[in-house]
Amino acid sequence: MGFEFAETMAGTVTWDADPKVRHPFKFEITAHADSTRAHLKDGKVIVRGVVTAPPRADGADCEGTMTIRPIGQKIIRYELAFVGDDGKAYEVVGQKDISYRKLLYSWTHLPLDILDEDHRRVGVAATTFDLSHGWRFFRSFKRV
């Protein structure tokens, strides 16, 4: 038996080519693990969803992995790949470093790098989990 949940992180993105301008940024994903036992071994779940990162992506499908290890490694890591509106491949990579001294902040804030197909950084994003969506987040958890 596995599990599934949905998460939205939103904030701003600044592209390295135009560092003075901030654009809205958001990803909405569904995380899925076929087996709770397999998840407990490596902490990885498959994620699919949508990335909005103007002007490069206006609702681009994304997929990747999320590593959920908040106790042992004290991390939640996101790696999402998408193809931008310009036809180029991008990857969104970031990690929540869980701190028990700053528990709420470390669970709700996610810094991200956006990489191009050559793994060069082309932008940075700062995102947060909106606590007003907390009930919706907890209700999204399902056994599958």
Burial 54-91 (b: 16+ CB within 10 A, else e): eebbeebebebbbbbebeeeeebbbbbbbbbeeeeebb
In this prediction, residue 45 carries a pLDDT of 95
DSSP string for 60-73: EEEEEEEEEETTTT
Closest residue by Cα to residue 62 from 53, 49, 52, 45: 49
pLDDT in tens, the chain (144 residues): 889 999 999 999 999 999 999 999 999 999 999 887 666 678 899 999 999 999 999 999 999 999 999 988 999 999 999 999 999 999 999 999 999 999 999 999 999 999 999 999 999 999 999 988 888 898 898 898
- pLDDT given at position 38: 65
Chain length of the chain: 144
Look-up: residue for tokens 């407990």? Answer: 40
Q: Tokens 């700062």 belong to which residue?
A: 126
- Alpha-carbon distance of 74 to 100, in angstroms, equals 9
Domain 3-136 = CATH 1.20.1440: no
Per the structure block, which two tokens stand in for 7? Answer: 């998460």
Distance CA 13, CA 24 (A): 6
Copy the structure tokens of residue 68: 């959920």
For the chain, the domains span 3-136
Query: Can you give the pLDDT at residue 39?
Result: 64
